[in-house]
Amino acid sequence: MEEKKKEELEWRRKTWKLVSKVRLESPLIQCITNFVSMDLMANTLLSAGASPAMVHSLEEIHEFTPRVSALCLNVGTLSSSSLPAMIAAAKLCSQLDIPWVLDPVAVSASSFRFDACVQLVQFKPTVIRGNASEIISLSSCSLQSSAASMGVDSTHGSMDAVEAAKLLAQTSGAIVAVSGATDIVTDGNQVVGAHNGVPLMQKITATGCAVTALIAAFVAVDKSHALDAAVSALAVFGVAGELGMKMAKGPSSLRMHLIDSLYGLDEATLQSHVNITSLC
């Protein structure tokens, strides 16, 4: 069997195995996240079989965070009260070897947010997932980078961010995922592309946040293979978007059908849609 076909079959196997593991183990995923995406993140996790907990306050971190399977930090509506809780949670996960993922939403929007992301990266996230502009900004380590976008939406395509993602992975030690038409995932050396999803997903607010939460659930059940887990989560979320698109009339109904498709995903359907390739 030719190499490409073997790789394709291997990714199908890995991805379904992780979907099954999340459904079986129902990992507890703590999300300290933004007010916009809280609902979609929680429902994405629940539909995938995980157990979301949007536990935010600093006073609860020392008791709750040690009990979670993974942590998801998202700076979308960062504030002087949420940041200390994020730092405390990230520090605990780093000390207790609990996987955690970072979503640097609109990292270039302000120096407060940029500095917060740089500080959080010091606590060794397992995965960093952002759109292309966010990853280019964070990788450049300077707020004045060319990627300073106007807000949460990317002004770059994912393929523009491959080198920036590799550099960020090398300097941070994290797996770095760049979402877009092709989702790019790298450990700083290997680069894998997940080619699933539909453009209309960009018109639903919080789909990026939601897929970062799904990455946390997949990493929770296979933390020693974080790159594969991140690729699989991105592919699964993209397949749910493709299936939902067949029934949707616009972004609002796609949001609904995407969640339903994620909940009802079966092995045969997933395997006939998953499209993952090595990029370099």
Ligand X SMILES: Nc1ncnc2c1ncn2[C@@H]1O[C@H](COP(=O)(O)OP(=O)(O)O)[C@@H](O)[C@H]1O
Residue 76 sits in the site that holds ligand X (CB under 6 A): no
- Candidates 30, 133, 182, 207; binder of ligand TZP (CB under 6 A) is 207
**Binding site partner of 237, from ligand TZP, Mg ion, ligand X, none, Cβ cut-off 5-8 A by kind:** ligand X
Q: Tell me how crowded residue 86 is: count the other CB atoms within 10 A of its CB.
A: 25
Cβ proximity to ligand X: between 99 and 208 the closer is 208
Residue 240 sits in the site that holds ligand TZP (CB under 6 A): no
- Candidates 26, 131, 137, 172; binder of ligand X (CB under 6 A) is 131
In angstroms, give the least distance from the CB of 1 to ligand X.
29
Question: Residue 182's Cα: distance from chain center in Å?
Answer: 14
**Binding site partner of 199, from ligand X, Mg ion, ligand TZP, none, Cβ cut-off 5-8 A by kind:** ligand X
Count of chain residues binding ligand X (CB under 6 A): 18
Q: 3-state SS of the chain: helix, strand, coil percent to 5?
A: 55, 15, 30
Which single residue brings its beta carbon nearest to ligand X?
A: 208
Residue 155 sits in the site that holds ligand TZP (CB under 6 A): no
Q: Helix and strand tally (H, E) in the chain?
A: 11, 9
Secondary structure E strands in the chain: 28-32, 51-53, 70-74, 100-103, 127-131, 175-179, 183-186, 191-194, 276-278
Q: Determine contact, residues 149/108, Cβ cutoff 8 Å.
A: yes
Residue 165 sits in the site that holds ligand X (CB under 6 A): no
Binding part of the chain for ligand X, among 58-66, 119-127, 192-200, 271-279 by CB under 6 A, reads: 192-200
Binding part of the chain for ligand X, among 26-34, 49-57, 66-74, 233-241 by CB under 6 A, reads: 233-241
- Cα–Cα distance for residue pair 277/280, rounded to 1 Å: 9
- Cα–Cα distance for residue pair 254/30, rounded to 1 Å: 26
Of 234, 278, 244, 235, the residue nearest 264 (C-alpha)? 244
**Binding site partner of 99, from Mg ion, ligand X, ligand TZP, none, Cβ cut-off 5-8 A by kind:** none
- Candidates 29, 92, 209, 276; binder of ligand TZP (CB under 6 A) is 209
Cβ proximity to ligand TZP: between 139 and 154 the closer is 154
- Candidates 66, 151, 173, 199; binder of ligand X (CB under 6 A) is 199
Residue 104 sits in the site that holds ligand X (CB under 6 A): no
Residue 42 sits in the site that holds ligand X (CB under 6 A): no
Report the amino acid identity of residue 147.
Answer: A
Structure tokens at 77: 């509506």
Q: Which residue's entry shows tokens 């106007």?
A: 150
- Cα–Cα distance for residue pair 99/190, rounded to 1 Å: 20
Residue 208 sits in the site that holds ligand TZP (CB under 6 A): yes
Cβ neighbours of residue 257 closer than 8 Å, sequence gap 6 or more: 243, 244, 245, 246, 247, 248
Crossing angle of helices 3-25/226-245, nearest 10°?
90
- Candidates 36, 46, 143, 181; binder of ligand TZP (CB under 6 A) is 36
Site for ligand TZP, rule CB under 6 A: 34, 36-37, 76-77, 105, 152, 205-209
Residues that bind ligand X (CB under 6 A): 131, 153-154, 179-181, 183, 197-199, 201-202, 207-208, 211, 234, 237-238
